[in-house]
Structure formats: structure tokens, C-alpha cells
Amino acid sequence: MKVEVLYVADCPTHPAAVKLVKHVLAAEGVEAEIREVLVSDEGMASELGFCGSPTIRINGRDVAGESQDARSFALSCRLYPGSKQVGLPPAEMVHRAVLKARQGARP
């Protein structure tokens, strides 16, 4: 399973996002390396389809399930729908993304 946390420098939520992903992976019994990607400029943000910091992707899919066509790409903070903590997705959103990725990986 490919796990990425994309973020901008000095993002106050980046460490908490990594911790959340580690917790979810452990709870689901999934061993995966978390690749942390520093998005350094607008060009990189556009190229990566980066929609705010932090962005969590499982197997290349945003945990929020948003379409890249509907997003604007920028070096900014991210707000997740239904989140109780600014800048972090709800844990259930990450759980669903991990489960979906795991089901898709089965033959």
C-alpha cells in the first residue's frame, strides 16, 4: 500500500496528520511506509494535484475522495469536511480509504 502525506513547510498540522495515519494503519493491521512529501512551490502543487496541507493519499487517492478536476491547487492549509480538528481529516475518513485500498489490492 502506498501512503503519502503531502505538506507545506511549517504546516502546524503535518506531524498530527502523520501520527493519525500511523494510528489508522496500526489499527487496521497494515504495514506500510509513510512517504512525506514537502510541496515547495506552486508548480509542484499543481503537478501533484495538491489541494492543501496536509493532504493524505492512499494508493494515489485523496482520503477525502475529491476529484482533482474540482480542486484548485495551491500552497495553503487544508480544511476537511466533517472534521472536528482544523487541518486533519476525520479518522474514519482515513480508515475508509485504507480499507478501500486494501480491498482493491486483493486478487
Tell me the average pLDDT across 2-13. 95
> Comparing 73 with 107, which gets the higher pLDDT?
73
> Comparing 81 with 66, which gets the higher pLDDT?
81
Provide the pLDDT for residue 103: 86
> Comparing 74 with 62, which gets the higher pLDDT?
62
Within 8 A by CB and 6+ apart from 19, the residues are none
Within 8 A by CB and 6+ apart from 42, the residues are 73, 74, 75
CATH number of the domain to which 45 belongs:
3.40.30
Provide the number of structural domains found in the chain: 1
**Tens-digit pLDDT profile for residues 14-73:** 999 999 999 999 999 999 999 999 999 989 998 998 889 999 999 999 999 865 444 567
Contact 44, 57 (CB under 8 A): no
On the question of pLDDT at 1 being above 70, the answer is yes
pTM of the predicted structure, to 2 decimals? 0.86
Tell me the average pLDDT across 85-95. 89
* Domain with 80 in it: 3-105
Give the span between the Cα atoms of 55 and 45, in whole angstroms: 11
Provide the pLDDT for residue 105: 58
Q: Residue 89: name the closest of 6, 2, 1 by CA.
A: 6
